[in-house]
Amino acid sequence: MNTLRFPLVVACLAVLLGCVTIAQAAELPRVRLVATGGTISNRTGSRLTAGELVATIPDVQRVARTEFEQFANVSSTEMTLDQWLALSRRLNELFAKDAELGGLVVTSGTDTLEELAYFLHLTVRDDRPVVVVGSMRNPSTVGFEGAANLLEAFRVAADPEARGKGVLVVLNDEINSAREATKTDALRLQTFQSRPAGVLGVVDADRVVFYRSTLKRHTSRSEFDVSTIVALPRVDVLTTYQGASGDLIKAAVELGAKGIVVAGAGAGSTTTAQDEAIASAADNGAIVVVTTRTGSGRVAAPPRRERSAPIAGEDLQPVKARVLLMLALTRTSDPAEIQRMFTQY
């Protein structure tokens, strides 16, 4: 009799365990992948789709209920500013229409990932996590790390502690703020770093660990609303070097640049010729922001602002100063207001 009952008991236990597993899965947060392309998709002969990318992620069903959509499938340098605006609108739309959505993961090519991530950091107006992810090796390469990066991105997007921390960049087991994350090496996996600011956290085997938050304004506290922006103004990036003339600054303004970011030497030094061109640009209504070409450090605003003086770019990398200046110019051309934005963001 006991022998006959044993299979029935096992079957009942299996059913109960199955019910528990289904219930647990239903409680997992929903996380949507929005794929834009990049190396992470670029296998030999074709590009992986959003669905194919999700299929590569090991055991992702243990951390989130996955969804996906294909926004684009191009290299990051082929993304246009109009696509940036459209992508930000789409992410805002997903959050606005779905209160139960836990978070978003966005794939990007790594070459300009830091620029896209910072743009989203300033324009996605929700506290829920947006995680930007990519890979340094393509899917046809031995040692492709994209699946591992995607799993970690989903883990971070599903983690309640990620809320309110702005847009996050997750690669190589590390979490960086979109504001500070910078590509520091052309080939190595550990390329994205935040230099003096340090990582926000790490993704370890047992759990996601956060060490800090960024205090600058972002996402839900941002004043930049992409729903009202028709197009982003032209802003060019130039650099300082020994003997640099001011001709390129003048030419950029003549060709229609509304703003210019100058990557200055040291704490923002520029040549005498560039100084004269910067003053001329200001007289012609262009806004000039001076940053540093050193890779880290801060360019501070002078105690008193002269009319033709450039905006101090604080500690933003030149390409990120360009992102902020483009958005700032959609709201104002007042240098004092733009300086405030560079101080707050």
- Residues taking part in catalysis: 39
Round to whole Å and give the CA distance between 136 and 185. 10
Token code pair at residue 68:
């996906």
Tokens 């080939």 found at: 187
CA distances from 81 to 76, 227, 255 (A): 11, 14, 18
What's the angle, vertex CA 237, arms to CA 236 and CA 243, rounded to 5?
A: 125
Contact 200, 177 (CB under 8 A): yes
Phi first, then psi: give them for residue 123, nearest 5 degrees: -125, -15
What residue type is assigned to position 103 of the chain? Answer: G
